[in-house]
Structure 1
């Protein structure tokens, strides 16, 4: 086949090169200077993954379990590599070696470009949509926060839908292959909430196509295409069999699984409603799609010396450092969320084009992408649209496993550019000049007119933020004036971009400039729009040289604890259950993860938090009551950390060590009874065992830990009376095996969440090994599926080229 390079290759080559160049330009310090984004979540991840990575480097094996967080938990959702997995190589090839995580934005642009081309949108407009999609603020704010897997998962959505649409256009082999490889990669990044939203998006698309095929009396054809695509989806699932099997297995025992205790405002399984919907966007906050600073931007923004707040502070005698500190981080946000890193914005120009799409896009696809936009917005409103979202939470399978519903806006910012580009393509292609100009003026009047109204009537909004309660009336009044000014300035900015865009399109419609130049001009305007907004939040100050090196540098307190080479856990009193810096070096009582073990969360809620608070109160009075730390002592908490100085380390002499024999076994019949008893009993002398599940009796003897690895522990026991040994290790029923002198023994759950063993009289070697079948069984299926998908993709490409010959 002979290609016309100028028409069939060059435009696409220019488009892909532009994607690469823009990523390199925006993130040049990362590409050329070796800097990285200061991402708090990634730093916490590094802390939580350190033990796992060290074990991999030392042994070449996967730990699959880590004791560095929350007493111990599976490593599947932290850092696990699967044998034979080629997905990392595929990513490197597809992104031309761009560093992680910014390579996700590149694949997002490529995927959107392919999707729009498949929808028969010309290359110039496809480039415009691709730039808008990748550089929306949702992506940049997520990068700054360290939500790298979320970015990758969202950026793969266009490619997934591109493959699906290819199949519906007749290129079923290539379409299924593209869908399968994109979905394979999305599942690989293990952000199941975004994958869930992707399925909703695909379902809406499928319903739209189903209606069309029914009207065309081609239902069997729809069934064939859908069936083939489902097979592709199953291949993508198979390519991640190891990941999915282990995660699904763990999910049953995590806070997203079935509840173990009666908890208010919670169903039989899944998350607590208050927790799940804590990040719900306000309905009015969706206006940031049109005006970035509609809600005051981020939770804390810099305001000028000429602001109303600065003037009010000066009038009330506040100046110098106190004044400067306030205006550098003023609480300008007045939305519904607890806090935010910035507004959700993808260019007002794309909203303008979206309105054109509502008028001009093909009816079938207009309805599909309008529905995707509306439903994703409704999902993002969460508790602010309770009748809808609470119903989904209660009845939609699996939906109660997810939180931070505002991330559904990632789907909104995908759908808007697609419909906008479809509308612009059809507008340019129409031969009815009068109708085109009328549609343009209508869209201009709707978006521009609404933005103008926001400027004129900005005072109609209250601008009352949650932070206002912390300030005197004179300051809150000034803050509200500053919020009003921020809204008006950005509304005027948006109006300028709308007018400039409308003028460019108008020039093309009256044939004063070519459509290609109008489209490229729009692309430049869009890029300038989102680029400058993004720089407010992700800029040079966000990029650091080796932030992890300084963050994890050992403090005097760390060095003091490091002198002890024994086996123990550390309680960090500073943000205990939301930090993983401690986990970098030590086995921690706390940690940083969104899917803790359900029983450990129960222990935190019912016992640990109260126990820690009471200890701190007594310690502040000079009474270090270590004996009262009944739960912490059974978790072998030898050190309590109250700061970074050496004198902020307190050694707990009452920690029980790795294992012990309780003198009395207390039978219980329910989880509720057990945790209530655990709160009051002496955990050194007594142990609870659920008699409905296990049999145990008290024994006597000594137990010593002789060898430690995250997935294997060895003990030497000298038992003078056969009975129950309690280990300071978290009980998990899937994968842990116990061996006594080489013979497998049943592990007992004791003290609500610890491991126990009935050990016979005499001297014995005890081993715990973590060998989950789910990990082993999934690996072979994953390898077969991955190579089959690659083969199918190559075959699809070859066949497509041959058909064009």
Structure 2
């Protein structure tokens, strides 16, 4: 055992270093007991509120919630998968390390494994891990609260490590590593990032197959492929519960088939192309890989102070400096980011030194892995351009399976952010192993001329490459001119000042990048000339890379982004009107909160109510269509009534105070209708609910005609139906009537798990009013129940349990075999 510790002492030192820098980055807020304030996490807290309340009360999280969009499955919100072994792995990590230290540490450790598999010495592997981890996008994700996306990216490197090990002949070990980390990747529940990683894996397999055919070594390749296929099947089995429910639910969401064919902005299938490509990387915006502020950094005016050219333009007109700075930051006109994304939290910065080494790697690395990395970088860059590179993007959007299900195509650059440091530090490895120092120095200088030359152009004449004007530049001038009472000359001088400020930001960062390029060049020169040894050089590469990326990351994720725990636990405080509405003892009603802007882009109301609105990227397609057709231009009162919207909250534009009105025409939890009107299709159904009397008539698709007998619509003025027990997954009603009745329930229709029981016996139900549940209720007094028990989840969990047991056995078996081999050696 002591020999084992001794052999691995350097690895332990590296891990200790990783833990130290992970805590050091967040040191001040952590010792102050603060937590990271993340916008999307706060929205998720609202979305999860009912789920967590039920879990705390009963010990079990429901699979359905009525907190947002009238009701939806909780699969993509928060769901327990207790049969999945990876659930406990993630829990354990979060128990030991605080957020976001745990995520940063996962980035570092996963990447370190990959670089060790690529046979870099430990400290050089650590430098590569730091280069990937501290790439700016990873920290921007943490700041935004895209926790699942960040977790998915942390697992890119170890998955690739397992695949490469398998392809290099370590079949069992590589396959088990692949299966374990791929299972974690799928469990992270961000299929978009997993999908993007698949592209990189496909390119790697193609490159490996080409070289296997060329070397006439196809047998080992196909053996490795078989092991990897088995590892993939095992990882899928471990996640059967989540994958099955996601697949089933996905077809019913805004990423699935459209129900409407007329008068709709919804695409026939998948996402709207404009929406999917709204966050496309600008082609020249890729200069940010090398120069972080080439495009002005993040949206907003934080970088502009009293010394900015914009502020000086105001001061020159006699505006006091304090007022000038206040106007710059509060007017909304002066964003330093000038690309055409709607907004951005920051650039993709890979590190100046890393970019220099990447170019050097293209020139000197002989390993065939170079061609995989280059092809992957080019491919992911082209796809990230989205609407700016239509031929490829449109082809993938229209013809490649699943591609049109995802938005924000720029995020595929997360794959490139891993490829850059891999090739960069393979270049350093090549330098260490090189014998022809003369030829090496020539290529080293060429890499310097290329990367240093770009930074020099940005320093000397940045506007030769870029114009630093946003697509809204003229609109800004027009708006300023109106605000300045028609003073167009002044407006133009302010706008020109903004352009000059953007140029200054780019120039300063270009100088900064050139300094790091020269430092890295100097380190390699020193090593070539035997001024430093391998260990010292590796440590210096690690230090320079960390300083470079750390300082840029601090622009976007810093101490100011942390808040006290009390505010985190309750980020949305109840207002007086909230406290009033919460006194209502009705167990189940909905609220439409218009006081905070678009209610369908905010989950704040869900902290307190079952909301008509909400915030989620995967809402049910029918509800998405309802928003588009019934709420986008004006609020349809009839639809609010059928959704049992009991309270409507608005805001007074003059004093900005919220006010509430009770909706007296809300239909309630369930009601009997007097008549049924059949619609031939979804278009006619949607048109019918645009103006109807939901309390008295039901609009039903003609496909459900067989669910209703002729005696089903026999109005009984004394008939009653009411909700007597509420739980998200189990609703109980009592009814009484002297004739068979058609009941409409103010609950979202979703037939992939909801079952209706009448007096304990399962009975059919159907859809009415475009997205509600309805059923024919027989004469007499009855107990009616709706129970959510999806087969996809429960059977999927059984498969997950079997897969988890197999994975644990496989890990144990391979560990035993590997230990046995080492003992024999």
TM-score interval w.r.t. the shorter chain?
over 0.9
Secondary structure of the equivalent of 2:617? coil
Secondary structure of the equivalent of 2:755? strand
Q: Who is 2:647 aligned against? A: 639
Judge which range, 214-223 or 788-797, deviates more: 788-797
> In the aligned structure 1, how far is the partner of 2:317 from the partner of 2:703?
68
Q: Who is 2:693 aligned against? A: 682
Q: TM-score, normalised by structure 1?
A: 0.95
Judge which range, 470-479 or 792-801, deviates more: 792-801
Preserved CA contact (<8 Å) 2:131 2:351: yes
Preserved CA contact (<8 Å) 2:207 2:371: yes
Secondary structure of the equivalent of 2:774? strand
Q: Who is 1:535 aligned against? A: 554
Q: Who is 2:417 aligned against? A: 413
Using the TM superposition, give the Cα deviation of residue 261 of structure 1 relative to its aligned residue in structure 2, in angstroms. Answer: 1.0
Judge which range, 782-791 or 402-411, deviates more: 782-791
Q: Assess, with a 3 A threshold, how the Cα gap between structure 1 residues 712 and 531 changes in structure 2: closer, same or farther.
A: same
> In the aligned structure 1, how far is the partner of 2:440 from the partner of 2:21?
32
1:269-317, Cα deviation, whole Å (9 max, x unpaired): 2111111111111111111001000000001132121111010122234
1:680-700, Cα deviation, whole Å (9 max, x unpaired): 222222211111234435343
Using the TM superposition, give the Cα deviation of residue 636 of structure 1 relative to its aligned residue in structure 2, in angstroms. Answer: 0.5
1:366-424, Cα deviation, whole Å (9 max, x unpaired): 10011111111112111111110111011111111101111111111011000111111
Alignment of 1:42-121 (within 5 A): 42-91=41-90, 97-121=96-120
> In the aligned structure 1, how far is the partner of 2:114 from the partner of 2:82?
32
Q: Who is 1:765 aligned against? A: 783
Task: Decide which of 522, 527, 545 is 1:508's aligned counterpart.
Answer: 527
For the pair 1:604 / 2:627, whether they are aligned, the reply is yes
Q: Assess, with a 3 A threshold, how the Cα gap between structure 1 residues 320 and 631 changes in structure 2: closer, same or farther.
A: farther
Judge which range, 481-490 or 602-611, deviates more: 602-611
> In the aligned structure 1, how far is the partner of 2:399 from the partner of 2:113?
36
Q: Who is 1:791 aligned against? A: 809
Secondary structure of the equivalent of 2:98? coil
> In the aligned structure 1, how far is the partner of 2:714 from the partner of 2:516?
78
Q: How many residue pairs end up in the alignment?
A: 789
Q: Assess, with a 3 A threshold, how the Cα gap between structure 1 residues 318 and 705 changes in structure 2: closer, same or farther.
A: farther
Preserved CA contact (<8 Å) 2:294 2:509: yes
Preserved CA contact (<8 Å) 2:299 2:345: yes
For the pair 1:280 / 2:280, whether they are aligned, the reply is yes
Preserved CA contact (<8 Å) 1:255 1:597: yes
Judge which range, 778-787 or 746-755, deviates more: 778-787
Preserved CA contact (<8 Å) 1:164 1:229: yes
> In the aligned structure 1, how far is the partner of 2:756 from the partner of 2:390?
47
Secondary structure of the equivalent of 1:755? strand
Alignment of 1:657-672 (within 5 A): 657-672=668-683
Alignment of 1:224-623 (within 5 A): 224-262=223-261, 268-300=268-300, 301-319=302-320, 322-328=323-329, 330-460=334-464, 461-468=466-473, 469-470=475-476, 471=480, 472-546=491-565, 547-566=567-586, 567-573=588-594, 574=596, 575-612=598-635
Preserved CA contact (<8 Å) 1:171 1:800: no
> In the aligned structure 1, how far is the partner of 2:91 from the partner of 2:766?
46
Q: Assess, with a 3 A threshold, how the Cα gap between structure 1 residues 446 and 649 changes in structure 2: closer, same or farther.
A: same
Please give the root-mean-square deviation of Cα atoms over the aligned residues, in Å. 1.9
> In the aligned structure 2, how far is the partner of 1:526 from the partner of 1:158?
18
Judge which range, 154-163 or 678-687, deviates more: 678-687
Preserved CA contact (<8 Å) 1:149 1:189: yes
> In the aligned structure 1, how far is the partner of 2:690 from the partner of 2:48?
31
Using the TM superposition, give the Cα deviation of residue 643 of structure 1 relative to its aligned residue in structure 2, in angstroms. Answer: 4.4
Task: Decide which of 722, 729, 732 is 2:750's aligned counterpart.
Answer: 732
For the pair 1:35 / 2:34, whether they are aligned, the reply is yes
Q: Who is 1:620 aligned against? A: none
Q: Assess, with a 3 A threshold, how the Cα gap between structure 1 residues 571 and 266 changes in structure 2: closer, same or farther.
A: closer
Preserved CA contact (<8 Å) 1:265 1:273: no
> In the aligned structure 2, how far is the partner of 1:787 from the partner of 1:20?
31
Secondary structure of the equivalent of 1:21? helix
Using the TM superposition, give the Cα deviation of residue 466 of structure 1 relative to its aligned residue in structure 2, in angstroms. Answer: 4.0
Preserved CA contact (<8 Å) 2:649 2:658: no
Preserved CA contact (<8 Å) 1:392 1:399: yes
Using the TM superposition, give the Cα deviation of residue 322 of structure 1 relative to its aligned residue in structure 2, in angstroms. Answer: 4.1
Q: Structure 1 regions of 5+ residues with no counterpart? A: 613-627
> In the aligned structure 1, how far is the partner of 2:395 from the partner of 2:19?
43
> In the aligned structure 2, how far is the partner of 1:684 from the partner of 1:784?
49
For the pair 1:673 / 2:681, whether they are aligned, the reply is no
> In the aligned structure 2, how far is the partner of 1:111 from the partner of 1:42?
24
Preserved CA contact (<8 Å) 1:280 1:383: yes
1:449-479, Cα deviation, whole Å (9 max, x unpaired): 1111121121222211245323332211110
> In the aligned structure 2, how far is the partner of 1:13 from the partner of 1:62?
39
Preserved CA contact (<8 Å) 2:131 2:549: yes
Q: Assess, with a 3 A threshold, how the Cα gap between structure 1 residues 758 and 317 changes in structure 2: closer, same or farther.
A: farther
Using the TM superposition, give the Cα deviation of residue 260 of structure 1 relative to its aligned residue in structure 2, in angstroms. Answer: 0.7
Q: Who is 2:129 aligned against? A: 130
Secondary structure of the equivalent of 1:665? strand
Using the TM superposition, give the Cα deviation of residue 611 of structure 1 relative to its aligned residue in structure 2, in angstroms. Answer: 3.3
Judge which range, 92-101 or 387-396, deviates more: 92-101
Preserved CA contact (<8 Å) 1:95 1:106: no
1:338-362, Cα deviation, whole Å (9 max, x unpaired): 0001111121111111011101222
1:534-556, Cα deviation, whole Å (9 max, x unpaired): 11111110011123334222211
Q: Structure 2 regions of 5+ residues with no counterpart? A: 481-490
1:55-110, Cα deviation, whole Å (9 max, x unpaired): 11211223100011000000010011023333233235568821244312212211
